[in-house]
């Protein structure tokens, strides 16, 4: 399509069609890598072209929204961009569909580079050598802060910021901001506040999905009384235990206290931590509540304990549990397996999650145009319709999610609004929050082994946090 530089290209209805009913099944965004097979929607067929190619002659040359609400982007014919992210396999294929739509709508050429799971060692030398990609999808807010501290990132343009203000809750804008400067567009999210259960086991016990923590404890006892162990816990993977704690603490202590604890502005011996650990012990220490061998059970093993081995009725972890169920068991998600949101521990339920944030390393019109596109519902809806994806964009049409499970997960994430918080262990120093056999991982593993030792757990957590933070 021949366009002048002053002409805008309009991206309209971008949702692709899919014939699959299988829920999200990819590696957790911004979270820990699992061995789950990517079996969810690989066979989705006949995806329609994701972007319209109609030029709007009257669209203004300033970007933003065109008439009728469609996203208007500049003509970038002859421009090229490199985008780096951790995604491979089906995730890479689906993200490439998003980039293809941007190419169609702007005339730009986009090269995708997969860095593998550990993106920092790939990006850092390129940044230091003056050869970064134009855009990167970072899986942790800590990396965004690190690169911003190196003066390596470009502040977002007014058009990109406008898109974020229009489509996202404030918490996501805050997560993309460092020292008052907005750098990031959160494109992909993971809801880590989901509890998965064996439908037959809960039905046999007469249990319905609980809405409060007290109801969850009561339900656990009821399941136990029916002759089934309520919980499989992945005690061999300390990151799952940090997620348990974070869900309890966020709902019980509230977002402000959660933020303070994340920044180590309050100590881990604070009464709020004591209350959260005591609450957590109601399940971890409940008589017969946790399947034997929890300390030797890894994350995939905790899922198969429930849905393959029948040794427990429930397992807690994020939306990516669906991929393990589909890939490693015969259970059918939505029939044999289902989920309910992590119940409210305090006055209201909250959502802990992860995600991938798009940042720009180069100062160009094309870089900002791509970030503006990624902040739009049009971009997100392309991947949404393919499955294996949760968008934090509140303007996305949730009817495009390919099944009720993925739709419910996304709607729960969006409904949390400003009560959403990013995984704490992904925000704290890695020596404290991301190291096997150390810090939070080890301290909470020790607490799982002895849930009566609340004081010992707090003291060890505080000692390790003080060392990691240097204060």
pLDDT tens-digit series, residues 140-189: 898 999 999 999 999 999 999 999 999 999 999 999 999 999 999 999 99
> What's the rounded mean pLDDT across residues 263-275?
98
Tokens of 303: 């899922």
Which residues have C-beta within 8 Å of that of residue 128, sequence separation ≥ 6? none
Over the stretch 380-413, which tens digit does the pLDDT of each residue have?
999 999 988 999 999 999 999 999 999 999 999 9
CB 289 within 8 A of CB 229: yes
Sign of CA dihedral 248, 252, 253, 258: positive
Looking at residues 434-453, what average pLDDT do you find?
96
> For 228, left (φ over 0), alpha (ψ -120 to 50), or beta?
beta
Q: CA of 272: how far to CAs of 40, 175, 235, 248, in Å? A: 40, 24, 23, 11
Please count the other Cβ atoms lying within 10 Å of the Cβ belonging to residue 240. Answer: 25
User: Residue 66 — pLDDT band, cuts 50, 70, 90?
Assistant: very low
Q: Flag whether pLDDT at 119 surpasses 80.
A: yes
pLDDT beyond 50 at 420: yes
From residue 74, how far is each of 3, 64, 111, 378 by CA, in Å? 10, 10, 19, 16
Task: With cut-offs at 50, 70 and 90, classify the pLDDT of residue 10.
Answer: low
Question: What confidence score (pLDDT) does residue 430 get?
Answer: 85
Instruction: Give kind and range of the element (H or E) at residue 197.
Output: strand 194-198
| Residues 437, 414: Cα–Cα separation, whole Å | 34
Helix locations, 263-329, DSSP H: 271-284, 299-307, 321-328
Is pLDDT at 84 greater than 80 in this prediction? yes
Please check the confidence at residue 31 and state whether its pLDDT lies above 50.
no
Using DSSP, state whether 100 is helix, strand or coil. Answer: helix
Residue 241 has pLDDT above 50, yes or no: yes
Q: Is 77 a residue whose pLDDT tops 50?
A: yes
- Using CA atoms, how far residue 205 sits from 195, 222, 311, in Å, is 17, 7, 15
How many CB atoms lie under 10 A from the CB of residue 309? 12
What lies within 8 Å, CB to CB, of 124 at 6+ separation is none
Stronger pLDDT, 225 or 53, i.e. the higher one: 225
* pLDDT value of residue 215: 98
Distance between CA atoms of 172 and 251, rounded to whole angstroms? Answer: 18
Q: How many angstroms separate the CA atoms of 313 and 311, rounded?
A: 7
Convert the pLDDT of each residue in 314-323 to its tens digit: 999 999 999 8
Interval 316-356: pLDDT, tens: 999 999 989 999 999 999 999 999 999 999 998 889 999 99
Is the Cβ–Cβ distance between 212 and 340 less than 8 Å? no
The residue with greater pLDDT, 81 or 30, is 81
Strands (E), 41-123: 55-56, 71-74, 80-85, 109-114
Mean pLDDT of the residues in the chain: 88
Token digits of residue 348: 């209201």
Average pLDDT over residues 362-375: 98
- Count how many residues are written for the chain: 471
Check whether 448 has a pLDDT greater than 90.
yes
Place of tokens 């999200």: 24
SS3 404: helix
pTM summary value: 0.79
Structure tokens given for 65 = 């929204």
Q: Which helix (H) or strand (E) holds 457?
A: helix 454-469
Work out the percent of the chain whose per-residue pLDDT is above 90.
78
Question: Tell me, what's the pLDDT at 11?
Answer: 56
- Both structure tokens of 50: 């994701």
Residue 201 in this model has a pLDDT that exceeds 90: yes
Measured distance CA(226)–CA(347) in Å, rounded: 30
H-helix segments, 375-453: 377-386, 404-416, 430-433, 439-449
* Count of C-beta atoms within a 10 Å radius of residue 436: 12
- Nearest-5° Cα angle at 258, 251 to 451: 70
CA-to-CA distance for 375 and 139, rounded, in angstroms? 16
The pLDDT of 277-293, averaged and rounded, is 98
């Amino acid at each position: 399509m021949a366009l002048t530089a002053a002409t805008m290209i309009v991206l309209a209805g971008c949702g692709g069609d899919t014939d699959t009913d299988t829920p999200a099944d990819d590696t957790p965004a911004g979270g820990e890598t699992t061995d789950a097979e990517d079996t969810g929607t690989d066979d989705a067929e006949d995806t329609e072209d994701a972007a319209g190619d109609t030029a709007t002659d009257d669209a203004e040359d300033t970007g933003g929204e065109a008439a009728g609400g469609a996203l208007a982007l500049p003509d970038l014919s002859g421009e090229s961009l490199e985008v780096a992210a951790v995604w491979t396999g089906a995730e890479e294929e689906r993200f490439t569909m998003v980039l293809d739509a941007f190419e169609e709508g702007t005339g730009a050429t986009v090269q995708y580079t997969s860095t593998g799971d550990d993106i920092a060692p790939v990006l850092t030398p390129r940044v230091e050598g003056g050869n970064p990609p134009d855009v990167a999808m970072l899986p942790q807010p800590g990396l965004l802060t690190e690169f911003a501290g190196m003066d390596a990132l470009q502040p977002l343009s007014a058009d990109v910021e406008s898109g974020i203000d229009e489509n996202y809750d404030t918490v996501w804008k805050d997560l993309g901001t460092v020292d008052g400067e907005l750098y990031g567009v959160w494109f992909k999210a993971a809801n880590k506040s989901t509890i998965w259960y064996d439908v037959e086991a809960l039905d046999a016990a007469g249990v319905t999905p609980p809405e409060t923590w007290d109801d969850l404890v009561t339900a656990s006892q009821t399941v136990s009384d029916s002759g089934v162990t309520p919980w499989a816990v992945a005690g061999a993977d300390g990151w799952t235990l940090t997620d348990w704690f974070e869900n309890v603490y966020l709902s019980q202590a509230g977002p402000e206290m959660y933020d303070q604890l994340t920044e180590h502005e309050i100590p881990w011996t604070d009464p709020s931590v004591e209350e959260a650990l005591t609450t957590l012990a109601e399940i971890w220490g409940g008589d017969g509540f946790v399947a034997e061998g929890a300390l030797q059970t890894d994350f995939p093993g905790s899922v198969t304990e429930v849905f393959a081995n029948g040794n427990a009725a429930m397992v807690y972890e994020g939306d990516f549990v669906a991929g393990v169920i589909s890939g490693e068991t015969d259970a059918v998600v939505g029939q044999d397996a289902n989920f309910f949101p992590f119940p409210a521990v305090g006055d209201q339920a909250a959502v802990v999650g992860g995600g991938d944030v798009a940042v720009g390393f180069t100062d160009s019109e094309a870089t900002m145009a791509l970030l503006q596109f990624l902040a739009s519902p049009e971009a997100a809806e392309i991947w949404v319709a393919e499955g294996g994806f949760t968008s934090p964009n509140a303007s996305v049409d949730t009817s495009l999610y390919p099944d009720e499970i993925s739709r419910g997960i996304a709607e729960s994430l969006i409904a949390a609004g400003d009560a959403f918080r990013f995984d704490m262990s992904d925000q704290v120093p890695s020596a404290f929050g991301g190291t096997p056999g150390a810090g939070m991982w080890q301290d909470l593993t020790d607490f799982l082994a002895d849930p009566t030792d609340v004081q010992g757990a707090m003291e060890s957590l505080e000692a390790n946090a003080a060392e990691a933070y240097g204060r």
